[in-house]
């Protein structure tokens, strides 16, 4: 009887060790796949495809011609985490004190968002289009899905204020960039008072919600136990977890007016996420759903409605 008991205890311990080993391996793989940037600037989720900074859109074609006649600057700052961060600055009119801090999405860099910023500059506003950590010209070995990047956004707003004490700042972001600026909005005590409003386009509720969907779609795996395992690995290796990057939770602390935009046909960051963020936000807000637009395509599918809504919303919070 005693031998049988020892046998089954041994079996249980062996199974547990194997399960922990499998979860640890899977968690480490997911962290590398989703967050770690290699020496070529690529992430595992890019499946070996190097980002070329090009979009097949009318906005891209217009931008390529337009930018040749623009006055450009480059800014750099050092983040709280020791990374040198880079931004392309598009100058508006000399009289303007309105700045749009434009934050791009996951796996891309500033080149992905700049076709969308043209109307802001044509209106006379200045645009600071950043490369997020680990992307483009900015340093960094890993992403954090907006959690640490929110602190970089705050640093950029302070840099704008150093350049112009009369600055009025709009935070504008797409996809992960939208989640980033929503998380930054929750750090109201750290943001300069010159930050006036937020325009978020197709941001997600949380990194956990996003990866839960992607685990099922890409790998056919359930969230448990793999996301908790990846979160534990992330905490040990990088100092944060998949639970930290939570835009919905951060918005509970925010007070800035926010325009929520989402494509009605977005199947990457589901439209329902944008609707949930809007519905649960308690500050001044507006929602625009662009029917027929996929992920990050709202400005391309219906640019007239998109920019009319954006400028109509912002005119309540920034003054020419």
pTM, two decimals, is 0.94
d(CA 158, CA 148): 16
The reply to whether 42 falls in a domain is no
Per-residue pLDDT of the chain (320 residues; tens, 9 = 90+): 655 555 445 445 554 444 555 566 778 999 999 999 999 999 999 988 889 998 999 999 999 999 999 989 999 999 999 999 999 999 999 999 999 999 999 999 999 999 999 999 999 999 999 999 999 999 999 999 999 999 999 999 999 999 999 999 999 999 999 999 999 999 999 999 999 999 999 999 999 999 999 888 888 888 888 899 889 999 999 999 989 999 999 999 999 999 999 999 999 999 999 999 999 999 999 999 999 999 999 999 999 999 999 999 999 999 98
For the CA atoms of 27, 31, 33, 38, what is the dihedral angle to 10 degrees? Answer: -140
| 109 lies in the same domain as 251 | yes
Q: Name the residue range of residue 222's domain.
A: 1-34+211-243
| 238 lies in the same domain as 253 | no
| 95 lies in the same domain as 9 | no
The reply to whether 41 falls in a domain is no
| 131 lies in the same domain as 65 | yes
| 118 lies in the same domain as 165 | yes
Whether 129 and 113 have beta carbons less than 8 Å apart is answered as yes
| 77 lies in the same domain as 117 | yes
Query: What is the number of structural domains in the chain?
Result: 2
| 85 lies in the same domain as 151 | yes
The runs of H, that is alpha helices, within the chain are: 2-34, 58-66, 110-122, 149-163, 176-185, 207-214, 223-237, 247-251, 271-280, 298-301, 303-314
């Amino acid at each position: 009887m005693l031998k049988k008991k020892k046998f089954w205890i041994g079996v249980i311990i062996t199974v547990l060790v194997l399960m922990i080993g499998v979860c640890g391996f899977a968690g480490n793989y997911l962290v590398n796949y989703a967050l770690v940037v290699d020496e070529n600037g690529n992430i595992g989720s890019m499946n070996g495809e190097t980002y070329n900074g090009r979009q097949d859109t009318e906005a891209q074609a217009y931008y390529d011609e337009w930018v040749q006649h623009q006055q450009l600057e480059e800014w750099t700052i050092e983040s709280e985490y020791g990374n040198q961060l880079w931004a392309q600055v598009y100058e508006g009119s000399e009289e303007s004190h309105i700045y749009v801090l434009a934050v791009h999405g996951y796996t891309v860099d500033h080149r992905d968002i700049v076709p969308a910023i043209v109307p802001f500059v044509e209106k006379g506003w200045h645009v600071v289009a950043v490369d997020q950590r680990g992307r483009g010209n900015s340093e960094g070995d890993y992403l954090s899905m907006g959690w640490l990047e929110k602190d970089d956004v705050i640093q950029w707003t302070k840099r704008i204020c150093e350049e112009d004490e009369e600055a009025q700042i709009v935070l504008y972001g797409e996809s992960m960039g939208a989640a980033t600026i929503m998380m930054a909005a929750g750090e109201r005590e750290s943001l300069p008072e010159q930050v006036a409003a937020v325009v978020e386009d197709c941001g997600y509720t949380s990194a956990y919600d996003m990866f839960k969907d992607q685990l099922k779609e890409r790998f056919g795996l359930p969230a448990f136990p793999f996301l908790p395992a990846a979160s534990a690995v992330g905490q040990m290796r990088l100092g944060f977890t998949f639970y930290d990057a939570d835009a919905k939770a951060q918005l509970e602390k925010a007070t800035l007016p926010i325009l929520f935009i989402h494509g009605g046909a977005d199947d990457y960051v589901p439209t329902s996420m944008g609707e949930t963020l809007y519905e649960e936000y308690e500050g001044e807000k507006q929602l625009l759903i662009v029917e027929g637009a996929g992920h990050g395509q709202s400005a391309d599918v219906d640019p007239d409605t998109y920019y009319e809504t954006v400028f109509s919303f912002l005119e309540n919070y920034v003054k020419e």
